[in-house]
Amino acid sequence: MTDSPAGPGTVSRVVLAAADIDRALTRIAYEILEANKGGKDLLLFGIPRRGYPLARRLAAKLAATDPALDADAIVGQLDVTMFRDDLAHQPTRAPQPTQLPAAGIDGKVVVLVDDVLYSGRTIRAALDALVDLGRPRAVRLAVLVDRGHRELPIRADHVGKNLPTSWREKVRVRLTETDGTDEVVIEAGA
């Protein structure tokens, strides 16, 4: 455990390094293909900020396994900012553009991809946002980390790492695309 850049007195520990994240994403990609019985009608929607790069990585792994898949064609970005029920309690953030794959979502299997599953409120907002875009045949959830403490009855179908945490701890996912490094860190105040 080391003092972290988050501030003095904050103790952090790395729970997933770059290689661990890569292995978790490889396993999730295989699970997605198995659950879907291949890549037919499959779309990945990353939730900004870190869910989108994770979705892109998963799409590349899916395409490497199933050559019939075009990684770029199956990835979209789903901004949920305006669908959140806690906007008044969160710091202001600019909405990111929703990017819909050319095929649309009607009749497709949509896998929502996010970095951390915590209360379930982000995923509830994502489900509401999907309703505005069309009617998928099925919606699944893939997360890199499930830290527990759900406030809504939402569970992930594909999880990279179940990480029991206390309410006081924070889980920080850092990705090369957004943060310059790949790691998952737990931070706790001293």
- The four Cα atoms 12, 18, 22, 25 give a dihedral, to 10 degrees, of 30
Q: Which domain holds residue 134?
A: 18-164
Q: Is residue 115 part of a domain?
A: yes
Spatial separation of the C-alpha atoms in residues 21 and 83, rounded to whole Å: 29
- What digits encode the pLDDT tens for the residues 137-148? 999 999 999 999
The pLDDT of residue 87 is 66
- What digits encode the pLDDT tens for the residues 50-103? 999 999 999 999 999 999 999 999 999 999 998 877 766 666 667 888 999 988
* 45, pLDDT greater than 70: yes
Q: Is residue 176 part of a domain?
A: no
Q: Is residue 147 part of a domain?
A: yes
Handedness of CA 178, 20, 121, 139 (dihedral sign): positive
Q: Is residue 11 part of a domain?
A: no
Q: Is residue 113 part of a domain?
A: yes
Question: Which CATH number do you get for residue 60?
Answer: 3.40.50.2020
Q: What percent of the chain has pLDDT over 90?
A: 82
Q: Is residue 189 part of a domain?
A: no
* Number of structural domains the chain divides into: 1
- What digits encode the pLDDT tens for the residues 64-76? 999 999 999 999 9
Task: State the pTM of this model.
Answer: 0.92
Spatial separation of the C-alpha atoms in residues 94 and 91, rounded to whole Å: 10
The pLDDT of residue 2 is 40
Q: Length of the chain in residues, anyone?
A: 190
Helix, strand, coil percentages for the chain (3-state, nearest 5): 30, 30, 40
